[in-house]
Amino acid sequence: MTKNRNNESGRTVPISRRSILRTTGAAGALALGGTSLPFVTGVAAADEHLIETCGGEVDVVVALDYSGSIRNAGTWGDIQSGVDSFLGVVPADVQLGLVTFGDAPAAFEYGPGNLLDFATASNVSAVQAGVPASTPPGENATHMPGALDYSNAILEQEGRGGREIIVLITDGGPNYENGVVGDGASPPADDTTFPYGTFEYTGGTTGGENGIAGEPGELTETTATATAIKNAGRRVIAVGVGENVAGFDDYLRDDIASATDDFVAVQDASNLGAELEALISEVCEECVDCSVDGQLAKYEFACVETDPDTGECLAYDFVPEGDVDDNVAYTPGSFESKGDEAFEPMTATFDTEYCDLYALVKSGRELDVQSIEGNDGSATVETANGGKFAISFVAFYCTEDAAVEAMEAFPSRGAGRR
């Protein structure tokens, strides 16, 4: 959302967001940095979706429930299709991993020692093939803490230290048998070896899976597992699928997910694909709260190159005036000029990590406060008050009050005012 304050009249100032426009269909391409990433989707969608890319390093592990209750609900086909759709629109600069879990967790491997890799077309196809095609077995537990520990270990060992996210997709609460997972032994049943260690659990049952779902020990142990992951700085997004999850909505939201907004309830499994695709933008929208007093940065439009013989200016751009905050940086050469004029900036683009930001823009004699709210890494300011004059400077503040105060303190319009 964008707003405007100025010292003559109000208007709405559009602030751009860095985004990619994708057309939908059974096959298509996700434009990304001038290239195209093929994708597939089995989910019907609108003619266009806005899929936002991430400005930094993002690693995602999908932890997918493959339990017997999903078989009983008859929703596995929709879940498999939805996950395929989600995997197909993950940007290629994101690293992707997969863990499935029933009686025990199992990690997908691209190859030996490679459990997390970039979402290229070939890698996405491989991960999609790693999602089981067959319906889950009838008697299959829900080893949620094991899935979380496996996902966390993959990020810890192969992640890049940027934004590291676990997307947990489940139809209920934890339900598992005590024992060690990762060593390939039983119990728990169906265990396979895991390259990054073994994990022991004591909060479940001492034998069998039937009738143990939701016991306090399982909930407590799974909560502790999720809490440790979140305390390590990783984000957990919990997606509850189907009608059976209703009894665990509060638990997944309050105890497992990193925040209230990191829980998504999908009652109709056929909608899972669309809900998961929406997560592409959500996992990228992380920002820093702005709490600096006073001016953050000021950029003047000035000469950046002169002719050594004549002293004539050959090129102009926005340059910092004095010290600038590291979280506000001009994108060199990003300004757009008016008409045929080479150096008459009507817009200018800045990179910022701040969530909310306010820009004081001066164009000719006009001053304008423009807001950037819900920022996703990039913001473009416009010429003040929609006028015809080029931008001469842009100054940034954390609050609207600070920006307005600076505007009102600026020398009055008239002779001698720059």
Cβ neighbour number for residue 250 with a 10 Å cutoff? 10
Picking from 260, 284, 308, the residue at the C-terminal end of a domain is: 284
Cis peptide before 332 (omega within 30 of 0): no
Residues of the domain holding 110:
41-284
Span 209-214, average pLDDT: 44
Here the CATH number for the domain that contains residue 118 is: 3.40.50.410
274 and 294, same domain (yes or no): no
Picking from 255, 284, 313, the residue at the C-terminal end of a domain is: 284
Q: Is residue 414 part of a domain?
A: no
Q: Is residue 128 part of a domain?
A: yes
Task: Please calculate the CA angle 63-66-68 and round it to the nearest 5 degrees.
Answer: 150
pLDDT band for position 254 (50/70/90)? very high
Span 104-118, average pLDDT: 96
- For the stretch 44-89, pLDDT in tens is 232 223 334 455 688 999 999 999 889 888 899 999 999 998 898 8
Give the integer Cα–Cα distance in Å for 381 and 384.
9
Q: Is residue 418 part of a domain?
A: no
Name the residue type at position 209.
E
DSSP string, 52-118: PPPSS-EEEEEEEE--HHHHHHT-HHHHHHHHHHHHHTS-TTEEEEEEEESSSEEE--SBTTB--EE
Backbone angle region of 333, left / alpha / beta, with phi > 0 → left and psi within -120 to 50 → alpha: left
Is the pLDDT assigned to residue 158 strictly greater than 90?
yes
Q: What is the CA radius of gyration of the chain?
A: 26
Picking from 230, 259, 284, the residue at the C-terminal end of a domain is: 284
- What domain count does the chain have? 2
54 and 193, same domain (yes or no): yes
Specify the pTM: 0.61
Q: Is residue 112 part of a domain?
A: yes
Is the pLDDT assigned to residue 9 strictly greater than 60?
no
Q: What does the mean pLDDT of the chain come to?
A: 80
233 and 370, same domain (yes or no): no
Give the integer Cα–Cα distance in Å for 97 and 156.
12
- For the stretch 330-385, pLDDT in tens is 988 889 998 778 899 999 988 888 888 899 999 998 999 998 765 556 778 999 87
Is the pLDDT assigned to residue 4 strictly greater than 70?
no
Cis peptide before 187 (omega within 30 of 0): yes
Is the pLDDT assigned to residue 286 strictly greater than 80?
no
